Amino acid sequence: MITADPNSDAVYMVWAGHQERMNWALQGDRTERANIFLRASEDGGKTWSDRRVVNDDATKGVNHLLPGASVAPNGRLDIAWHDYRLSQKPPDIPGRDLGMQDIFYTYSEDNGRTFAPNAWISDRSIDRSVGVWSNNIGSQINVGIASAEEGAYFAWSDRSERQHPHTGRRRLRSHRAAQWVSPLGCRTHLLIGSPRPASNLW
């Protein structure tokens, strides 16, 4: 994921990767875990900082995947990702982890040198043992972010199970959830693309 500040020469690369940068494919014992990394350039991509870990639980041994990044008009860098730190299931290799995901967020106001403590912004966990699969890998997408000076808006892929009010049958429905989160910690919720009222979801 690459994003740039339209008001300066700052460019940011954000990705999920293994701590040993050349060793992802060599981990035969299924213990590799993905963290969220950042490299920043303040001169339009001519030079880059060393990579930094964005998630603040890098030693916990869980996966962090599919980050999104955006820059606000005031230069604040917003980053959010799928995070397994709250899952009660044993972790697995990235892309095949069937645990419970949540969405976490952080921001930087100094070009990625430091970050605010990670904030948990999803109100329900996402069960990745159910949902859309392809070639034995869960079908997921990066977190979407739109940044404004007063806060940020997020959208992500989710799976929820609902019960029909008349037949009692249960089926999976796909929806995208979005939130506005300010750096001051206030947040509101809305739902995109679901037939159910938002008040029933949170």
- pLDDT surpassing 70 at residue 191: no
Radius of gyration of the chain (CA): 18
Question: What pLDDT shows up at residue 15?
Answer: 95
Report pLDDT digits (tens) over 119-131.
Answer: 998 878 888 777 6
Single out the residue of 37, 61, 76 nearest to residue 183, CA to CA: 76
Quickly count: other Cβ atoms within 10 Å of residue 193's Cβ. Answer: 11
Confidence of residue 134 (pLDDT cuts 50, 70, 90): low
Question: What pLDDT shows up at residue 123?
Answer: 79
The single-letter code of the amino acid at 65 is L
Rounded CA gap, 147 and 67, in Å? 15
The answer to whether the Cα torsion of 124, 122, 68, 116 is positive or negative is negative
Q: 67 or 178: which carries more pLDDT confidence?
A: 67
Q: pTM (2 decimals)?
A: 0.79
Confidence of residue 88 (pLDDT cuts 50, 70, 90): confident
Single out the residue of 19, 41, 45 nearest to residue 32, CA to CA: 19
Question: What pLDDT shows up at residue 59?
Answer: 72
CATH number of the domain at 2-148, out of 3.40.50.970, 3.40.710.10, 2.120.10.10, 3.40.50.720? 2.120.10.10
Domain boundaries, the chain: 2-148
DSSP state of 48: -
Pair type for strands 100-108 and 77-83: antiparallel
Helix (H) or strand (E) holding 148: strand 144-148
